[in-house]
Structure 1
Amino acid sequence: MFEYHGWITIRETAANEDDDVRLRQIIDELRLRIAEMADPYLLDLRWMNGEPFIHLGGNPNHRSATDVIDLFEHVAAVAPGSYGLLHMRDDEDPGHENEVRVLRLARGTITQHTEALLSPCIPKLEDPFTG
């Protein structure tokens, strides 16, 4: 199981002085990429209060069934002023089976961290298996 929940605020630069024409080009390209992903879960790009955001969430059987990490990496490359978080729980991730991991996008860089508020999943989120 690969559960994920995340968001990205899309900005061309960290200076918060985006070129409106370039930002709209980036958004148009991201809309095409999202449409090609054909993700059956939550994947939404929309403008709110004059700023573009991506929201995503899902729970496929395996991590390989989704491109969400690739999407974060792509946004980091084309819009390095963007920032956001992707919380992931992957019971097939060696060494991290009992953790919620956080992918952090900031200033064009992606880093991974353990989410201390939700990890270890057993016992913080679930009881130990007793069967």
Structure 2
Amino acid sequence: MDDDPDRLAEIVEGLRRRIDGIASPCLLDLRWMNGEAFVHIGGFANHAHSSAEVLDLFRHVGEIAPGSYGLLHVRDDEDPGHENEVRVLRMVRGIVTRHTESAMSPCIPVLEDPYEG
């Protein structure tokens, strides 16, 4: 995240406050492992406002800690043009880009059977 220990502590504390302020049913966790700070995001938010806060958090990490990297998989069946895809937000050196996750898309029939009602 950052080579300056004081700056890193400031970044981590700011992230901790932001995570604590998010009202979401998702797993949102910040912890130290092997001397590095890690943010863990997981779960299923079925409301746009809940998922928006989590996506904003992911982007925010990249903005304040430009050495950060990670993946966040998202399925949003209300995303025009991507209703049947799992999208992956890829953070590399703090920059977030969106891609289709080919290993899990198209959702139907890869993850689910077609609805036959």
Q: TM-score, normalised by structure 1?
A: 0.84
Is 1:69 the counterpart of 2:55? The answer is yes
Matched, 1:54 2:39: yes
What's the secondary structure of 2:21's corresponding residue? Answer: helix
> What are the ranges of 5 or more consecutive residues in structure 1 without an aligned counterpart?
1-10, 13-17
Question: Unaligned regions of 5+ residues in structure 2, if any?
Answer: none
- How many residues are treated as equivalent by the alignment? 116
In the TM superposition, residue 76 of structure 1 has moved relative to its aligned partner by 1.2
SS in 1 for 2:41: strand
Query: Matched residue of 1:37: which SS?
Result: coil
Aligned residue type for 2:112: E
Q: Please tell me whether residue 99 in structure 1 is matched to residue 85 in structure 2.
A: yes
Q: Distance in 1 between matches of 2:47 and 2:85?
A: 16
Higher helix share: 2
Percentage identity across aligned positions? Answer: 64
Higher strand content, 1 or 2:
1
Alpha-carbon distance between aligned partners in 2 of 1:108 and 1:87, rounded to the nearest angstrom: 17
Distance of 2:90 and 2:35 partners within structure 1: 23
Select the structure with the greater relative contact order (CA < 8 A; seq sep ≥ 6): 1
- Once the two structures are superposed, what CA deviation does each residue of 1:86-130 show, in whole Å capped at 9, x if it has no partner? 100011111111000000111121100000000001111111111
Preserved contact between residue 23 and residue 50 of structure 2 (Cα < 8 Å)? no
1:109 alignment partner in structure 2: 95
Q: CA RMSD in A?
A: 1.0
